[in-house]
């Protein structure tokens, strides 16, 4: 059974930075695309960023491109999200997720991801 545990959320002022981490277990980590999603209060969950199983390919939501960076360490089974130049509209619960299918690229829909962490809250004050 796949387990994902996020950490690193918190309260930060606009313009600041946070780094989220997600520790994975229970699957062959280095064969699955990993992603970060977020869900603002009373809104739908939305895609933030994803990284291929090897780490060689990344893709981002337009709203975070140039500010956020996703990376992974396959030796440690972790995926991280470096968030810079944070804005109040980045406030949300952030979740990491693993693709349902190994070695697949380009997915952005939450339905394409089969295992989820419990989430970590990020709050950006203005």
**Average per-residue pLDDT in the chain?**
97
Q: Which of 116, 74, 75 lies closest to 96, judged by CA?
A: 116
Q: What pLDDT sits at residue 27?
A: 85
Q: Which two tokens stand for residue 26?
A: 């229970």
pLDDT at 26 over 90: no
Q: Is the pLDDT of residue 64 over 90?
A: yes
Average pLDDT on 41-58 reads 97
CA 71 – CA 73 distance, rounded (Å):
7
Q: What percent of the chain has pLDDT over 70?
A: 100
Given a cut of 90, whether residue 10 has pLDDT beyond it is: yes
**What's CA 116's distance to the chain center, in Å?**
10
Region 49-59: what's the mean pLDDT? Answer: 98
Tokens at 19, concatenated: 């780094």
For 81-123, the pLDDT digits (tens) are 999 999 999 999 999 999 999 999 999 999 999 999 999 999 9
Q: In this structure, are residues 87 and 41 in contact, taking their beta carbons and an 8 Å threshold?
A: no
DSSP 112: G
pLDDT value for 9: 95
For residue 37, is pLDDT > 90? yes
Residue range 55-59: mean pLDDT, rounded: 98
Position 53 scores a pLDDT of 97
């Amino acid at each position: 059974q796949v387990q994902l545990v996020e950490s690193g959320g918190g309260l930060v002022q606009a313009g600041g930075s946070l780094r989220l981490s997600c520790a994975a277990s229970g699957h062959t980590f280095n064969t699955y695309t990993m992603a970060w999603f977020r869900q603002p209060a009373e809104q739908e969950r939305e895609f933030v960023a994803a990284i291929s199983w090897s780490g060689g390919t990344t893709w981002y939501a337009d709203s975070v491109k140039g500010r956020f960076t996703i990376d992974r360490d396959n030796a440690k089974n972790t995926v991280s999200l470096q968030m810079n130049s944070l804005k109040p509209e980045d406030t949300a619960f952030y979740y990491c997720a693993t693709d349902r299918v190994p070695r697949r690229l380009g997915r952005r829909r939450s339905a394409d991801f089969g295992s989820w962490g419990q989430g970590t809250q990020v709050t950006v004050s203005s």
